[in-house]
Amino acid sequence: MQLITDQSSPAFPGERSVITIGAYDGVHLGHQAVIAQVRELAEARGCRSVLITFDKHPATVVRPASAPKLLTSPEQKLDLLGATGIDAVVMIAFDETQAAESPESFVTRIIVEHLAASAIVVGEDFHFGSGRDGNVDLLSKMGAEHDFDVVPLTLVPRSDGIDEPISSTAIRRALAGGDVTRANALLGHVFEVNGRVVQGDQRGRLLGFPTANVEVPNRLCIPADGVYAGIYERENGDTHHCAINLGRRPTFYEFAETSLLEAHLLDFDGDLYGEAATVRFTHFLRSERKFDGIDALIEQLRFDVEHAKTLLIDFEASRDSA
């Protein structure tokens, strides 16, 4: 996949493209369906398949006080987009100047002059440009003038009986309730967070369950406080099953300002400090709670670890057979 960050000249001189535009946070099943349509149409027309996105979520500039937490970091998003088979991603720097650009200017500068679009594939509710004034109708009018087609798609419905389309908002809502199974089903891949292992209070080691304390950037979405099973990936690519505690450790602290992510690797005992880590959430085990003493906590931790082992063995077996 080609990454294009300079939009000052034609991206593919002498060639045309089929494109889509959006934040694409999470690269969920709805996004994947749009990208599949882009690739199919591009192949049929002999064009490049291209996705236009932004280096930050537009809401962080337009309405920072209510901007959503991100389901994917920029690096994660590019990895997921690369896996779709799209030919190129145009990464636009989103700042106040970009936020103020009119829809007509954006179409002329990016869609026509930079990408020589043959077609644009977007959701039927798509809006863009200053004040979100751009929509499918505007694209269709400009398409007639500049020789590109507009293909509006019906949003992909959920398959779990809930009457709404798949969306990043629905996934964030599932994560806020700790429902990582539902979030993963809507994503089409396992939800993950990235961070770096930092020094903790080493209380887990004293309890017999050493943990890697992963510092997750504040801009990223995390599930609700609780205990989870998951997969831990080291920066060298090695993966390990893990039990994850995400929370404020009420057994030891009356009040903690922020939740901590602590991963107990089930098949590893070594130094992880300073390493980059990816933690994937596969199953919710239980809510976080305060225990009446250390012995009760240790007993529960033993149960959590065995529960996580069983679930993760089944999880790996189901993926192998898929």
Count CB-CB contacts under 10 A for residue 177.
Answer: 13
Number of C-beta neighbours around residue 297 at 10 A:
18
Cα separation, 8 vs 61, whole angstroms: 22
Per CATH, is 190-321 categorized as 2.60.40.420? no
Question: 222-271: per-residue pLDDT in tens?
Answer: 999 999 999 999 999 999 999 999 987 644 455 556 778 999 999 888 88
Torsion angle, alpha carbons of 69, 71, 73, 78, to 10: -140
Residue 214 CA to residue 277 CA, distance in Å, equals 7
pLDDT tens digits for 43-71?
999 999 999 999 999 999 989 889 999 99
Structure tokens at 132: 């979100």
Both tokens of 248, joined, read 């404020």
For residues 112-123, give the mean pLDDT: 96
Q: What percent of the chain has pLDDT over 90?
A: 72
Residue 148 contacts residue 48 (beta carbons within 8 Å): no
Give 180-197 as a DSSP string.
HHHHHHHHTS--EEEEEE
Answering whether pTM is above 0.85, one says: yes
Report whether 175 contacts 183 (CB < 8 A): yes
Do the bridges between strand 17-21 and strand 48-54 make them parallel or antiparallel, or are there none, so unpaired? parallel
Question: CA 55, 59, 65 angle in degrees (round to 5)?
Answer: 130
**Residue from 80, 77, 70 nearest 217 by CA:** 70
Q: Are 54 and 16 in contact (CB under 8 A)?
A: no
Which residues make up the CATH 3.40.50.620 domain(s) of the chain? Answer: 2-153
pLDDT per residue as tens digits for the range 265-300: 998 888 899 999 999 999 999 998 877 778 888 888
Indicate where the chain has its CATH 2.40.30.30 domain(s): 190-321
The pLDDT of residue 161 is above 60: yes
- Reduced to 3 states (helix: H, G, I; strand: E, B; else coil), residue 122 is strand
Q: Cα angle at 82 between 80 and 86, to 5 degrees?
A: 120
Query: Number of H helices and number of E strands within the chain?
Result: 10, 12
The CATH number of domain 2-153 is 3.40.50.620? yes
State the sign of the Cα–Cα–Cα–Cα dihedral 4, 9, 11, 17.
positive
Answer for the pair 25, 166: CB distance below 8 angstroms, yes or no.
no
Least confident of 74-83, 139-148, 209-218, 233-242: 209-218
Q: Determine the Cα–Cα distance for residues 237 and 25; give it in Å rounded to an integer.
A: 24
pLDDT for 204 equals 56
